[in-house]
Amino acid sequence: MDIYKIHDIEALLEGNTYPGRGIVIGKTADGKKAVAAYFIMGRSANSRNRVFTERDGAVYTEPFDASKVEDPSLIIYAAIREYENNLIVTNGDQTDTIYEGLQKGLCFNRSLQSRAFEPDAPNLTPRISGILTFEDGDFSYQMSILKSIDAEGSDCARYLFSYPSKAGLGHFLHTYVCDGNPIPTFRGEPERVAIDDEIDAFTDKLWNALDKENKISLYVRYIDLETGEEENRLVNKNR
């Protein structure tokens, strides 16, 4: 087994009906752009009743039909926010926890010490988070997963991964291995994936690879490391 293999994200997702929510962070093959992507999926009517919206550089999950919302606590949140030279992306309201922690002078990891996995037994969905930090024309990034240490949810196991940016390399972290009951949580290190130079090619590849019944929304951002110029793509199944 080649532990340094860089996978095509299509191959990782092919035939997987439910990887859950996913974060991809990395650098384009030409080394010119930072990339962050986030997608959500859903099995229940409540989870599927969502769209992404973008306001002032931040990305939010919002109800598609407000009249059908059953429980907003774990499905409505800011998924992406900016703070100074940092871009935060997560699968829950810990986005705000990290943002407020940075404001107080805490680092990414310390900001997450107050959080744990989601209280949605029996699944006990992990909280996955990422942060890109830009400096001197380049960036580094960190990814975190907070998951239950056992089936009972008796305590939280915390995993932090720190990466320098490398051309053509990204890391993919998602909440679940695959569908199930309860749903098996992600295991191991974030998966190594290839990052396309062109945002449309990468967006199409990722969106088309997600299960057509369970995918809901996808957001992709490319940031030019020389100019800081951003390109964004937002895809909603419900719109």
Two structure tokens written together for 160 = 């932090």
Q: What is the mean pLDDT of residues 29-43?
A: 97
Over the stretch 58-109, which tens digit does the pLDDT of each residue have?
A: 999 999 988 888 888 878 899 999 999 999 999 999 999 999 999 999 999 9
Q: Which amino acid is at 223?
A: I
User: Given this model, what pLDDT does residue 239 score?
Assistant: 78
Residue 45 scores a pLDDT above 80: yes
Q: What is the mean pLDDT of residues 226-233?
A: 97
Residue 1 scores a pLDDT above 80: no
Cα 154 to Cα 183: distance, rounded to the nearest angstrom: 17
* pTM exceeds 0.95: yes
Which residues are CB-neighbours of 154 under 8 A, at least 6 positions away? Answer: 148
The average confidence (pLDDT) of the chain is 96
User: Given this model, what pLDDT does residue 68 score?
Assistant: 84
Q: CA dihedral in degrees (65, 66, 71, 73; nearest 10)?
A: 110
User: Given this model, what pLDDT does residue 66 score?
Assistant: 84
Cα 48 to Cα 66: distance, rounded to the nearest angstrom: 12
User: Given this model, what pLDDT does residue 119 score?
Assistant: 95
The structural domains of the chain, ordered by start, are: 9-182+200-236 (3.60.20.20)
